[in-house]
Amino acid sequence: MAEPAIELIGIDKRFGAVRANKAIDLTVERGTIHGIIGENGAGKSTLMSIIYGFYQADSGEIRVGGKKVEITDPNAAIAAGIGMVHQHFMLVHNFTVVENVMLGAEQSPLLRAGIGKVRAELKRLEEDHGLDVDPDAVIEDLAVGRQQRVEILKALYRGADILILDEPTGVLTPSEADHLFEVLQQLRAEGKTIILITHKLREIMAITDNVSVMRQGEMVATRKTSETSVAELAELMVGRRVLLTVDKGEARPSNVLLDVKGLTVKDGRGVTMVDDVSFSVRAGEIVGIAGVAGNGQSELLEALSGIRRAEAGQISICGREIDPTRETDPAEIRRIGCAHVPEDRHHMGLVLPFEENENSVLGYQDDKRFRKGVLLDQNAMRRDAREKIEAYDIRPPDCRLKTSNFSGGNQQKIVLAREMERDPDVLLIGQPTRGVDVGAIEFIHKRIVEMRDAGKAILLVSVELDEIRALSDRILVMFAGRIVGERGPDATEGDLGLLMAGVEETPEAAE
């Protein structure tokens, strides 16, 4: 038998009192796609960072192709044939594709000569692997899916035989994710080895050959994908049976708490992103907005929450009229009783260098509970943060830890706890489970339904069509900035997909 592509033997890693990896053993067979799954904070990203040289293990051994290697930094990983595509891309946005690919791997002191060699190799890699990207395109002008292709090309250009992908579909549209899977299957057929970190169990079942499960820093199981199930993997991840469907009764909507009429919003370039949109959300119902990312959902949430000024329209929140065409203070919207969970937690939901307890009150720091005269009451903030940490199972349970040191899913729970625990009358929630594990998804969905049943009006935006269908009492579909159709929760995926693609609804479909 051929030697495994990579073996980890007894990998152990501590960060102070936190033992992130506990004597991890892992074998990844050559020429396979191997999934790594686990709850947020289970130690997956730490383990991959050790393989790629960002961290060094406190003890243990790494073997590549049967030979022990010392991976002291990413350059050593690259030399060992290991490449990594990070969840948040490591690209210079104002550089071209070819400049990003050659950055750090220049082949000549004369850049012009180096660029010529890179361009020729890039063309070969694109043709061989179906990764067509304009080499002269500037990164910031590319769609997210094409930026990800550039990251893969960077790794292949550096000679990667083992490719690690961390949550690769978290920012992709369904069609972009499908293309990525085609690329990965082609790379596997060419003998490359893929390690795939994802929270999406359906993706694991669809594309991997083998899957390993981590829980609380330990490797608890490895299965052949063909011999396991979503239910078994979910239970292995969480350590208990997980409800994979949303348990909710009939909605009992009452009075309108959010009313939007003729809302039109432009982006920074002057392009109309929300085009004459009107809808309402009643107390005791969840209205979901489905659509491929980039069709105006983000700008809609920003206008409703007071972050972005609208060109035209009217908004009423809890009976109070808001003029969206003037500069609106988001704090004013919060005072009315409207909370907002932004789609992008890093840029709009958190200040990553702040401690967890500071982010836990961010936006509500003027609340008298957190004030001591003109100063903030640090003890009150920390008490409040500890209560939220326990209620939302935020890990590690340390309110003094820098927020940047939490996993993405736990960062998401910090934002959700902050906004939901304010008991708002209206909740605007964007991508509530992005980067969140299956156990936390179950908890978040349950909490959203509880808020609905308590008489709250909830506007939900998600690119996860299953999530929209499972949670929503009514579904609005956006395409090119307009609402192109409304459906009930029993709408089929095919019907919604046609609307999301801009196919005009027929009278028969609307009945």
Question: Could you tell me which residue, 254 or 295, shows the higher pLDDT?
Answer: 254
Question: Cα 75 to the chain's mean position, in Å?
Answer: 27
Q: What is the mean pLDDT of residues 19-43?
A: 93
Rg over CA atoms, the chain = 24
Quick check: bond before 507 cis, omega within 30?
A: no
User: What are 169's two structure tokens?
Assistant: 């579909």
What b/e string do you get for 60-98 counting C-beta neighbours within 10 Å, with b at 16 or more? bebbbbeeebebeebeebbebbbbbbbeebebeeebbbb
Given a cut of 70, is residue 99 above it in pLDDT? yes
Dist. CA 417–CA 403, nearest whole Å: 14
Domain ranges, ordered by start, for the chain: 6-238, 243-337+424-511, 351-423
pLDDT at 122: 87
Q: Going by C-beta distance under 8 Å and a sequence separation of 6 or more, which residues neighbour residue 269?
A: none
H-helix segments, 7-158: 44-51, 74-79, 97-102, 111-129, 144-157
- Identity of the highest mean pLDDT range in 18-22, 109-113, 154-158, 286-290: 286-290
Task: Specify which residues 13 forms β-bridges with.
Answer: 21
Q: Which of 113-117, 174-178, 210-214 has the lowest mean pLDDT?
A: 113-117
Q: What is the mean pLDDT of residues 270-293?
A: 95
Q: Smallest Cα–Cα separation from 4: which of 35, 37, 26?
A: 26
H-helix segments, 260-362: 297-304, 330-336, 356-360
- What's the predicted TM-score (pTM) here? 0.72
* Bridge-based pairing state of the strands 285-290 and 218-224: unpaired
Dist. CA 266–CA 481, nearest whole Å: 10
Dist. CA 463–CA 176, nearest whole Å: 12
pLDDT band at residue 500 using 50, 70 and 90 as cut-offs: confident
- Identity of the highest mean pLDDT range in 123-127, 160-164, 167-171: 160-164
Q: What is the mean pLDDT of the chain?
A: 90
**Contact by Cβ (8 Å): 289, 460:** yes
pLDDT at 106: 60
* Bridge-based pairing state of the strands 338-341 and 285-290: unpaired
**Contact by Cβ (8 Å): 440, 417:** no
pLDDT band at residue 508 using 50, 70 and 90 as cut-offs: very low
**Contact by Cβ (8 Å): 138, 170:** no
Backbone φ and ψ of 286, nearest 5°: -110, 120
Q: Does domain 6-238 have CATH number 3.40.630.10?
A: no
**Nearest-5° angle of CA 299, CA 305, CA 307?**
65
Model confidence pLDDT, tens digit, residues 100-123: 988 876 654 545 556 778 888 888
pLDDT at 107: 54
Q: What is the CATH T-level fold of the domain 243-337+424-511, as seen in this structure? A: Rossmann fold (3.40.50)
pLDDT at 506: 45
Backbone φ and ψ of 10, nearest 5°: 60, 40
* Sequence-distant contacts of 178-187: CB under 8 A, at least 24 apart: 179/145, 180/145, 180/148, 181/206, 181/207, 182/130, 183/129, 183/130, 183/131, 183/149, 183/152, 184/33, 185/33, 186/129, 186/130, 187/129, 187/163
Q: Which helix (H) or strand (E) holds 508?
A: helix 507-510
Identical fold for domains 6-238 and 243-337+424-511, yes or no, is yes
Q: Smallest Cα–Cα separation from 444: which of 480, 408, 474, 420?
A: 420
**Nearest-5° angle of CA 257, CA 262, CA 266?**
110
SS3 sequence of 233-289: HHHHHHCCCCCCCCCCCCCCCCCEEEEEEEEEEECCCCCEEEEEEEEEEECCEEEEE
